[in-house]
Structure 1
């Protein structure tokens, strides 16, 4: 009878081949991945459902042109910076704490310019924001 312990090799995990396979897999994924940059969103703008009322509530009317030029209550601003827009909105609001902000944007206006208007309104604490929609022949009575 042989009672001596047998020399057993302990199992090992060979990491070098696994690292090689992972590196090759990463190189493959990097080379086959296509990167696309979203430059804009395709949206359907809402149409007015009811005829526009003749009386316009007192508020801050902001028009945003396709080139990002802002107009506050019909007065064009000298530049399209957030600070300039915020000061013009504050002056147009006067004593009112939370006036109605009406955003009128052209169909071809980049959405970032509309977001700039929303940022300025948010920084001033204006929470009543409305987007103007053009009336279509179908919506007119």
Structure 2
């Protein structure tokens, strides 16, 4: 019996399944990624050792940049517009809310005081100043 030998083809890599997987990954990452519609406020917060306060639903977030630009809930605003907005909330409402001030550590102290004074005049009794968490040597040794 004479069997014919089949011509052996050289092995080759099939690219079709690999391309399918890459496209599926691309689609997955495009769907699961969130995009910011407007630019964020670049704030370099000072470090502090105070305990972290839980964020509340009823709070007013105010950002103060190094240049003195003021943002309310991430939208540019002036001091007078901030005052008008807080007046519009009413004193009874502001007494139950937290005024969260996120001031850049290089912002002028006078600007920070002006913003805090506007909050006080409009009835805020709870003022939180955002800071970055400090890392002390004890925390590093404990591995936290």
Q: TM-score, normalised by structure 1?
A: 0.53
Residue 74 of structure 1 deviates from its aligned partner by 1.8
In the other structure, the counterpart of 2:85 is: 88
Larger radius of gyration: 1
In the other structure, the counterpart of 1:100 is: 98
- Check whether the contact 2:47–2:133 (CA below 8 A) recurs between aligned residues: no
Residue 47 in structure 1 maps to residue 44 in structure 2:
no
What whole-Å deviation, never above 9, does each CA across 1:58-102 have from its counterpart, x for those lacking one?
21111101111111122221xx3x321212334567972311101
Q: TM-score, normalised by structure 2?
A: 0.52
In the other structure, the counterpart of 1:56 is: 55
In structure 2, the CA distance between the partners of 1:83 and 1:49, relative to structure 1 (3 Å rule), is closer
Q: How many residues align?
A: 92
In the other structure, the counterpart of 2:73 is: 73
Q: Secondary structure at the match of 2:55?
A: coil
Q: Unaligned 5+ residue runs, structure 1?
A: 1-44
- Check whether the contact 1:60–1:92 (CA below 8 A) recurs between aligned residues: no
Once superposed, what is the RMSD of the aligned Cα atoms?
A: 2.8
Q: Secondary structure at the match of 2:99?
A: strand
What whole-Å deviation, never above 9, does each CA across 1:20-76 have from its counterpart, x for those lacking one?
xxxxxxxxxxxxxxxxxxxxxxxxx551444x46x5112111110111111112222
Choose between structure 1 and 2: higher helix proportion: 2
In structure 2, the CA distance between the partners of 1:90 and 1:60, relative to structure 1 (3 Å rule), is farther
In the other structure, the counterpart of 1:111 is: 109
